[in-house]
Amino acid sequence: MPILRYASFLFVLLACFACETNSTTDSSAASNSPTHPEDSHSFARPEEAVTKHLSLNLKVDFDQQTLEGYARYQIQNNGADSIYLDSKDIDIQRVTIGKEEQETAFEIGYPDQFKGTPLVIDIEPTTEIVTIYYKTDPVGAAAVDWLEPGQTADKKHPFLFTQGQAILTRTWIPCQDSPGIRITYDAEITVPKDLMAVMSASNPQQKNDTGVYRFEMKQPIPSYLIALAVGDLEFAPIGERTGIYAEPSVVASAAYEFADIEKMLEVAEALYGPYLWDRYDVIVLPPSFPFGGMENPRLTFATPTIIAGDRSLTALIAHELAHSWSGNLVTNATWNDFWLNEGFTVYFERRIMEAVYGKPYADMLALLGYQDLKADVADLPPVDTHLKLSLKDRDPDEGMTNVAYEKGAFFLQMLEEQVGREKFDAFSKQYFEAYRFKTIYTDEFVQYLRTNLLEPNQVDVNIEEWIYGPGIPANVPQVASAKFDQVDAQIKSFQQGAEATTLITTDWTPHEWLHFIRAIPTDTDLKRMNELDETFGLSQSGNAEILAAWFERSIRTGYSVNTIAEIEQFLVNIGRRKFLTPLYRALKETDQLSLAQAIYKKARPNYHSVSRNSMEVLLEI
């Protein structure tokens, strides 16, 4: 292993200056336009040399909790004498250039709190291939979650999965980790023979006898969408292009839960054009997965908390499927433009749900989303309620709030109402086609919107207020729900003293229950809370969304004195950040910080680093 040449003070100053002045790229070339700013979350200098294809070869070692092997890049070299990559807590062992693998020098710069360290590799002006031999760190590889058998559903075999968004792929692959840089990739992953590997690429559907699995992703994607999972997995087909991966004890229930995936895919294609990723499969991960779902192309990573037994939480699958167009096909160029991924996706998700389950169902989702948006706008500093964000020198995870999702979706809903659904659908389809396999900045989108939708239809709307201003504009679309009106009547009846047993709740969906629970006043006395709990069994609900909402309301009313054991069990066993944050925050804000910290200490081993980082800031650990 060569001695690494660490950057001198002068080198760091020059590197930092260059990072401040360089631009990122779209899928084909760098842009130096003032409207195309640099990606402040990457050290890459793509205008000098940019990665185009990755060949990944790794061995998975569960005993040491490491991935070891090499990342070989084909690069587009614009006559540079060095190429800049992102890395964080990776043991770089050696680097070679060219087909002949001539060993070359490399430097690892000083660490940045969020970005990690620049990996600067000496190349020649004609270099086209760079190979990096490395090993991940058992602790520092924040993208990788290593699970003991006891942390899985079947409790027989270990498991691992990666979570790259926003800037964590650099902790398990040295790469140009910017959403504005797209690459194709192939991979060879070696795992224990009783396990199977799957990736965001072409996938096997059954285990082999060698433990060696090969993958190919022919469509160019940003690095945050490179994903790996390894475990005792089985596959169940749903339709011709769709299927489910899960542990053996989970696969049947997951296949039942997601039976409408093929129908959703057909609806999505009818709305916005052909699905360009060949297959759409879903893997159900263990409970430590920090998100509801992650839109890794060809293979959505999903939380088991959406398996409710009644197909009532499948909007999440519609959301991740919609990302196949908004996010994966057309990608935000920087994390400041995150709303372009998520706002379009939430809007698209609701269009899919409306087509499959009807408008009343989609309206309930929209109203719950509006409630979430109002809560975040009230909680966040005004600057973080803009659609176009300013995340320089911050963790981009801080931009992943309901503002990007819900304010973005309501902005698009407003545009639809202004020009009519037919014209807006035609515009969206045109947009996805124009930017397919490319990246886009907010300012660029605004110009495209004006040119291709607003000006031809002679529509003038308050774009500046929506995108560059704080809060919720006054012309936010108003959504009505007859179903929620009926729930409101039961809420009013209960608040006026009606016994819980007299409330009309027959055939309520989880969405109606969420609306009801959220409306329970925080000064409701414990006797009335207990009455609701005994009548409807809320503390024992099999639906994670209902449980999380009820437990938060229990904490804020003081009823948690009766349910703290159930709350602790939930927090220890579920790693989804969406549920953890409001429950820990409720404990903290009701003067129970010590209790929250004690529960977190027990739960921490079961959380992914994404959730751990957020909770430790919240809980002042």
Q: Which residues are catalytic?
A: 320, 405
150 Cβ neighbours under 8 A, 6+ residues apart:
none
Q: Output b/e per residue, 401-431; b: 16+ Cβ within 10 A.
A: bbbbbbbbbbbbbbbbebbeeebbbebbeeb
Peptide linkage before 252 cis (omega within 30 of 0): no
- Calpha distance 407→201 (Å, rounded): 32
The angle formed by the CA atoms of residues 291, 293 and 299, to the nearest 5 degrees, is 140
591 Cβ neighbours under 8 A, 6+ residues apart:
none
Residue 245, helix vs strand vs coil: strand
- Calpha distance 42→167 (Å, rounded): 8
Identity of residue 456: P
- Calpha distance 503→31 (Å, rounded): 61
292 Cβ neighbours under 8 A, 6+ residues apart:
302, 303, 305, 306, 316, 319, 576, 578
Query: What strand order describes the sheet that includes 82-87?
Result: 82-87, 117-122, 106-108
What are the tokens at 135?
Answer: 């090993």
- Calpha distance 90→71 (Å, rounded): 12
Q: Output b/e per residue, 187-217; b: 16+ Cβ within 10 A.
A: bebbbbeebbbbbbbbbbeebeeebebebeb
